[in-house]
């Protein structure tokens, strides 16, 4: 496990409760850009599901939902917070699912924590487990940035982020077989603004 991965995982293990306090609200409006394109009971992966609210609980009320995260503390909270989803501890760079397992994937504020040189690997993994014509809705970076906050959310816990520019993300999506069908800018509860990309997998 790389140092960055360990910092992010151990960081969420330490500050899961504090992060949950900030996320205990309605899901971002942008979630409907994915859910409106899915059918009831479609299979959805919440990649980096964290504490499970407000995103995975919303998904699980309508879809056959699996949440994946590598933080044991986050999954513990998700187990309490979400009814009806399957929870899996795993890493987004090597998804423990067979090809064509999902009709939709959402990745809210998770891909942006993965070392930039592994973003294409994660996007390839998303393509591998999505059905043809399936949708991905993910938080991405606007301008390229790598950095850390030694006292994130005033917890004294370090957190790291790493992402390429949105243009580089689009190039990766294209190489892997995704077509971008929407780009949205969303304010989060932490006081940041992030682009979200909606992309459809077209392996042909």
Ligand X SMILES: C[S@@+](CC[C@H](N)C(=O)[O-])C[C@H]1O[C@@H](n2cnc3c(N)ncnc32)[C@H](O)[C@@H]1O
Q: What's the CA dihedral at 30, 33, 35, 38 to 10 degrees?
A: -170
Strand pairing report for 86-89 and 64-69: parallel
- Return the residue of 14, 35, 110, 169 that touches ligand X, per CB under 6 A: 110
- Return the residue of 4, 14, 15, 23 that touches ligand X, per CB under 6 A: 23
What part of residues 69-88 is at the interface with ligand X (CB under 6 A)?
69-71, 74
91 binds ligand X (CB under 6 A): yes
113 binds ligand X (CB under 6 A): yes
Contacts of 163 (CB under 8 A, 6+ apart): 111, 112, 116, 119, 140, 141, 144, 145, 146, 169
SS3 49: coil
67 binds ligand X (CB under 6 A): no
Instruction: Using the minimum distance from each CB to ligand X, give the nearer residue, 159 or 199.
Output: 159
Count of residues engaged in binding ligand X, rule: CB under 6 A: 20
DSSP conformation class of 142: S
Answer for the pair 16, 52: CB distance below 8 angstroms, yes or no: no
104 binds ligand X (CB under 6 A): no
State the residues that interact with ligand X by CB under 6 A. Answer: 8-9, 12, 23, 48-50, 55, 69-71, 74, 91-93, 108-110, 113-114
């Amino acid at each position: 496990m790389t140092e960055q991965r360990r910092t992010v995982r151990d960081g969420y293990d330490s500050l899961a409760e504090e992060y949950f306090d900030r996320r205990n609200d309605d899901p971002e409006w942008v979630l409907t850009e994915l859910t409106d394109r899915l059918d009831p009971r479609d299979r959805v992966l919440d990649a980096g599901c964290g504490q499970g609210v407000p995103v995975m609980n919303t998904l699980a009320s309508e879809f056959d939902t699996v949440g994946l995260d590598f933080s044991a503390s986050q999954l513990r909270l998700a187990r309490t917070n979400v009814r009806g989803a399957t929870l899996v501890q795993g890493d987004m760079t090597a998804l423990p699912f067979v090809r064509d397992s999902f009709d939709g994937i959402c990745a809210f504020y998770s891909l942006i924590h993965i070392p930039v040189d592994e973003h294409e690997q994660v996007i390839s993994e998303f393509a591998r487990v999505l059905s043809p014509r399936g949708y991905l809705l993910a938080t991405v970076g606007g301008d390229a940035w790598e950095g850390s906050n030694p006292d994130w959310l005033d917890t004294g816990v370090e957190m790291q982020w790493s992402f390429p520019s949105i243009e580089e993300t689009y190039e990766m999506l294209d190489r892997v077989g995704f077509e971008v069908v929407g780009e949205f800018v969303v304010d989060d509860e932490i006081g940041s603004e992030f682009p979200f990309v909606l992309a459809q997998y077209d392996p042909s």
